[in-house]
Amino acid sequence: MSLDTLKAAIPDYAKDLKLNLGSVIGNSDLPAQQLWGTVLATAIAARSPRVLRELAPEAKANLSPEAYTAARSAAAVMAMNNVFYRTRHLLSDHEYGTLRAGLRMNVIGNPGVDKVDFELWSFAVSAINGCGMCLDSHEQVLRKAGVDREVIQEAFKIASVVQAVATILDAEEILSDLPE
């Protein structure tokens, strides 16, 4: 029901987003845990209260308690790592890359779910947060684990649509409050 509510809220000028949202979630070939973990992690990363309110209950209903926690953990640790590693990469002084990060990220080593699922969710969050270093790192781990490019692309398709829906719905909320 919440996916339908979200789709119904998308304005007509963004009809492609409505169709894509239904397609990337409703017609996905990903196993349920990979799909709904990706949806939850990217909904958190998109930073839209409305999108998260609509998608989180459905994700929770489709995930084990461990997977629900792990998807949230992926969003949390990548919120930190994406800023850190993106900044390190963008700085012209490459000596920062030789310094010890000194950040705790133990959940990556022991996420409580299949490592491939956690890596896929981390990858999808990194797509939203725009960290090339993290995207490359997680993509390489996934490929070494035998994950097909089509599966990886499915994760960033979900990320792109969830982010776009969040952007449009949040903008519509603000625009509807403006005087005519």
| Phi, psi of 87, rounded to the nearest 5 degrees | -65, -45
**How far apart, in whole angstroms, are the C-alpha atoms of residue 4 and residue 33?**
20
- Is the distance from CB of 142 to CB of 123 less than 8 angstroms? yes
Residue of 25, 56, 134, 161 marked catalytic: 134
Residue of 41, 131, 152, 169 marked catalytic: 131
**How far apart, in whole angstroms, are the C-alpha atoms of residue 71 and residue 163?**
16
**How far apart, in whole angstroms, are the C-alpha atoms of residue 176 and residue 157?**
28
**Quick one: tokens of 176?**
């509807």
Annotation says 131 is catalytic: yes
Annotation says 134 is catalytic: yes
CA proximity to 75, closest of 35, 107, 30, 113: 107
Active-site amino acid positions: 131, 134
